[in-house]
């Protein structure tokens, strides 16, 4: 029997599992490859969850438990992104007639031209339903997945599939509800278009960050950055900051080009 992996080693090995799932999803070109990325993210999540359970049982240092929870959150975000892509791939295949619209084979005289079923694709119908919910939730409330995970991390709570599923279902249901009619108190009110809502999301994000980014807070953040350089997830933080900076620069270029 092989010796058990030390808890600290397991915690440091989690970023590799998360990075592997992220790279698989980024390079996925087909539905099968997206499925493989989803499975890889699920493996990373399960490994992180086991490590978190052992950490709590052995009263591990808070920093280790926080790092493990961060790995769980990152794995869940990758898994959710893969599920959103699967929902799009599946619905597109149905529209092309490649998958039966009800998930079951249609009755025909021979095997030629029978659309594939969800089982043929290695998917259960409940998995397809969940994938669609995640996609619809993100459409109704962009960033809901990452915000849900970050909120639990900020409160020192474990990011779990169950907690994420509840928030996703709530957001998806909000998106399915019809838009409210014009307010009786303000008959001139007109609900924003998707484009207007997207722009308000951008400006709200900028405004909130600008209000937070005082000299004092930025000084604290810089100290925190230096302290985080040797943590397992510093490379993921740096990547997220780089991607966010690129998006900010692009939006500023829109203004400069006016």
Looking at the domain assignment, is residue 219 inside a domain?
no
Phi/psi for 210 (5° steps) reads -60, -40
The total number of structural domains that make up the chain: 1
Following DSSP, what letter does each residue of 57-77 receive, concatenated?
Answer: HTT--HHHHHHHHHHHHHHHH
Looking at the domain assignment, is residue 71 inside a domain?
yes
Looking at the domain assignment, is residue 8 inside a domain?
yes
Range of the domain at 170: 1-105+118-178
pLDDT of 199-238, one tens digit each? 777 777 777 777 778 888 888 888 888 887 776 666 767 7
Letter string b/e over residues 124-138, b meaning 16 or more CB atoms within 10 A of that residue's CB: eeebbebbbbbbbbb
pLDDT of 91-101, one tens digit each? 887 777 777 66
What's the CA gap between 104 and 128, in Å, rounded? 13
Looking at the domain assignment, is residue 214 inside a domain?
no
- Provide the token pair at 183: 């307010």
User: What pLDDT is recorded for position 107?
Assistant: 38
Looking at the domain assignment, is residue 211 inside a domain?
no
pTM over 0.85: no
């Amino acid at each position: 029997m092989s010796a058990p992996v030390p808890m600290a080693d397991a915690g440091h090995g989690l970023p590799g599992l998360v990075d592997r799932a992220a790279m698989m999803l980024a390079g996925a070109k087909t539905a099968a490859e997206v499925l493989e990325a989803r499975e890889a993210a699920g493996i990373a999540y399960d490994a992180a969850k086991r490590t978190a359970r052992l950490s709590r049982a052995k009263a591990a240092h808070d920093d280790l438990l926080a790092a493990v929870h961060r790995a769980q959150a990152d794995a869940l975000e990758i898994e959710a992104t893969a599920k959103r892509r699967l929902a799009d791939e599946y619905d597109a295949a149905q529209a092309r007639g490649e998958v039966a619209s009800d998930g079951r084979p249609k009755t025909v005289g021979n095997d030629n031209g029978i659309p594939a079923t969800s089982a043929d694709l290695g998917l259960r119908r409940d998995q397809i339903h969940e994938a669609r919910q995640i996609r619809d939730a993100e459409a109704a409330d962009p960033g809901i997945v990452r915000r849900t995970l970050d909120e639990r991390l900020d409160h020192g709570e474990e990011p779990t599939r169950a907690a994420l599923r509840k928030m996703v279902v709530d957001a998806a249901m909000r998106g399915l509800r019809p838009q409210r009619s014009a307010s009786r108190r303000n008959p001139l009110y007109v609900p924003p278009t998707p484009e207007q809502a997207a722009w308000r999301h951008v400006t709200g994000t900028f405004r909130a960050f600008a209000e937070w980014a005082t000299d004092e807070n930025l000084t604290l953040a810089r100290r925190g950055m230096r302290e985080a350089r040797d943590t397992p997830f510093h490379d993921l933080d740096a990547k997220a900051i780089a991607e966010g900076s690129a998006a900010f620069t692009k939006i500023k270029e829109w203004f400069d080009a006016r």
